[in-house]
Amino acid sequence: MKIIIKGLYTFLVSMTVATLLGYLFKELGFPETNIVIVYLLAIQVITWLNEHFVVGILSSIGATLTFNYFFTAPFLTLSVQDPSYIITFIIMTLSSVLTSTLTTHVKKNAEIARARERETLVLYNLTSQLTDAMDEKSITNIVIQNLNGFLSRGIGLIICSVDGTLDHHFVYQDSQLHLIREVEGYHLLTKQLKDLKASHFENEEFIDYPIKGRTGVLGVLRIHKNESLSLNQKEHVLILSLIESTALALERIRITEQRIIDREQANQERYRSTLLRSISHDLRTPLSSILGNSENLIQMSEAFKSEILTNTLIGIHDEADWLYHMVENILSLTKLQEGKLAARKQLELVEEVIGSVIERFSKNFSTRNIEVQVPDEPIYVPMEAKLIEQVLFNILDNAHKHTADNDIIKLSVRKAETADGIIFSIVNFGPSISREDLPHIFELFYTSQLVSKGKSNIGLGLPICQAIINAHGGTIQIRNIEEEKGVEVTFTLPLEDVSNE
């Protein structure tokens, strides 16, 4: 209806002005061709002021009839006395229609050009502003303000956390309000994002566009519905382009933040490793002296047959030995964190390595019964003996802590079924490891809920064992024995040619 009223109004005004000018030209003696040109100009004005193509066509016919009514004999009628005027009317109508059509096309092309220019400007402004954004809050404000101005409707933006969880609140802005709103239907929205296959989805109030990055959903752009102004295809495409720019900006911010965190953590780890290494080296020498002197004093005290003195010295020796063992693990930890824990392999006889570990272990825990099973034939394995001894001692020490003194600890060696590796197995018959602890048992500083005797565990032994075995190209695993109570730790060392190392 508005189009009809506007078209009729512009037609009447334009024809009135053209007719008045036509009478003026007639009084001045101008030829009729000038009057025809005035009507053609009126047609251009009408077409330019109206959006619909039909208005221009009808105005062309109306202009011909108006010219006939006022300026051809008999005047003030639609009759035609001179047949030659029929040709004039036909040419005038065709010229008017052609003029109207060309004007409409020019107008449409101009509108398309302006729309493209506006879209390009919006995309350029948004991209340039997002490039300078320093945090997610700035990105939110930039996106909302630019889209609100472009679409003339309410815009909201929900940001996801690093783990992909949607925030329960979002920033919303329309022509009058700028506020923080709560996400209604939060669980439904989360489910829609997981199941989403289309580029957007709708609810009662918003059209939601997910902002996707390389690692998952980064957020949701919310466009308020407007029943009288729906989104056209070009606006939809532009929104998708803006969303891509927003996703790149959010990922850039998060990558930058993560780099800062990683750099700080690396610095902290480097400082901690330096401190631990310095302290460990400083403790090593006095602990070795304490261990040696306490062993001598124990032997001397036995001559005096003083049980109190002997027990006291044994306690000093055990405490010093525990500290020395912990210092060795800390030094291995610093090498592991600095990437310097590498195995310098050479062929070693497995029996000698196990014998050295058993001798050291029995010296500290003389009451423990260790059952050793090795193949009859000699087995040579490429390894760094000192590191593998540390692995075996750490595992035996854990077994000692979590079993009774009269429990047997089994240590066995066998060839792998594929004959390309050697499998070491250490079994204790203490309590099983809980299912919650098993997946984390090799994590640094992780301690299980098992009750141990003696000194508490600080979560270094098994992670260091894993790092040493990995450095040898092997694997290590731990499992509960299902048939009976107990835990088995197995690790495999490959039998590759040592010359290739």
Mean pLDDT confidence for 44-48: 77
- Looking at this protein, which amino acid is placed at residue 481? I
Write the pLDDT tens digit of every residue in 398-426: 888 888 888 899 999 999 888 789 999 99
497 has pLDDT over 60: no
Lowest mean pLDDT among 171-185, 269-283, 374-388: 269-283
Integer angstrom CA distances of residue 307 from 294, 311, 316, 410: 15, 6, 14, 32
Give yes or no on whether 150-254 and 341-500 have one common fold: no
Q: What is the largest CA-CA distance in the chain?
A: 154
For domain 150-254, the CATH architecture is: 2-Layer Sandwich (3.30)
Q: How far is residue 329's CA from residue 334's CA, in Å, rounded to a whole number? A: 9
Q: What is the pLDDT of residue 280?
A: 64
Q: Measure the N-to-C terminal CA separation of the chain; round to a whole number of Å.
A: 88
Q: Are 128 and 120 in contact (CB under 8 A)?
A: no
Q: Which range in 40-44, 261-265, 330-334 is most confidently predicted, on average pLDDT?
A: 261-265
Q: What is the domain partition of the chain in residue ranges?
A: 2-115, 150-254, 260-335, 341-500
Pairwise pLDDT comparison (295 vs 129), residue with the higher score? 129
Burial 80-113 (b: 16+ CB within 10 A, else e): eeeeebeebbeebbebbbebbeebbeebeeeeee
Class of 341-500 per CATH?
alpha beta
Q: What is the pLDDT of residue 112?
A: 78
Q: What is the pLDDT of residue 500?
A: 41
The percent of residues in the chain predicted with pLDDT above 70, rounded, is: 81
Query: Structure pTM?
Result: 0.47
Mean pLDDT confidence for 61-73: 80
Burial tier of 190 (Cβ tally within 10 Å: 0-12, 13-18, 19+): middle
Q: How far is residue 456's CA from residue 468's CA, in Å, rounded to a whole number? A: 23
